[in-house]
Amino acid sequence: MPPTGPPPDWTRVEIAVPRPADRLPGIAMAGFRQRVPAVADIAMVAHPSVTLLVDLSETDGLAYRAHGRHRQGSFVAGLLPGELRAGGRVGACLQIRLGPVAAAAVLGAAAELSGTVVSLEDVWGRDAGRAEDRLRAAASWDERFAIAAEMLARRPEARRVDPEVAHAWRRTLAGRGRTRVDGLADEVGWTRKRLWSRFRSQLGITPKRAARLVRFDHAAHLLVAGHAATDVAARCGYVDQSHLHRDVKTFTGLTPAAVARAPWLAIDDVAWPAPPHPPRSLSRSVIGPR
């Protein structure tokens, strides 16, 4: 069944995050549990990460709708997933955000997942069911976060991203999408064509598209914070308000006003607090900043 019903009442949702010392570079996690069972329907807003949503419900559970298809259970949304709604009668779920560099390392599918929404089983195979069972049986959110971190860390290294591509991604994030591709190519000592080709083949998105996504993410959070669309457009480097409107429509299928009311973004500061600096490293150095 497709998700139906209103957005969740966040006062009735328990939100848990890993302790600062346990947070991992390039990976962010948050746990959600409905204190009072209720049906929810949430528009998932595009984010510059590959997102895993793991269903921990005992019955019914998570449902999602993307690209005209309705499916049930845990799923993985790549970069630029398009219009995506998730909900159902979800008792609890674990959301994991993987920066595309980390996603390439632990999933091996950052590029292939771009523009798609697939079941967790499609990505992890039989490991998906075993992961759900272990996480569901855990006694606390701290235990679940530890289990998830262990599972991610012990996966065989799937794909290494060039240091130059990882640097370009980090610079795009740091510049909030306003860093020019020519400048990034100069920084890593590559031609623009080589950076464009390697970035796209390894992360599944062009440097320019990545910059647009990161800039949109910054704009979306400003909209939710109550800033006027005209002010957001100017602060984020859009030509004008209509330019902002086009990007919002492209990434979400929504208007800026609808994004400003997006329930998922409304609790971002709680669910995704700023990581400590410097973060604790995983055993493999390939999982760098998202």
> In angstroms, rounded to a whole number, what is the distance separating the alpha carbons of residues 238 and 236?
6
Q: What integer pLDDT is reported at residue 235 of this predicted model?
A: 96
Q: How far apart are the first and last CA of the chain?
A: 33
pLDDT tens per residue across span 152-179: 887 766 678 999 999 999 999 999 999 9
- Confidence band of 1 (pLDDT split at 50, 70, 90): very low
Cβ atoms of 20 and 28 closer than 8 Å: no
pLDDT at 5 over 80: no
Residue with tokens 């139906």: 4
pLDDT tens per residue across span 74-106: 999 999 988 888 888 778 899 999 999 999 888
pLDDT tens per residue across span 238-267: 999 999 999 999 888 888 998 888 767 777
What lies within 8 Å, CB to CB, of 260 at 6+ separation is 223, 224, 226
Average pLDDT for 206-222: 95
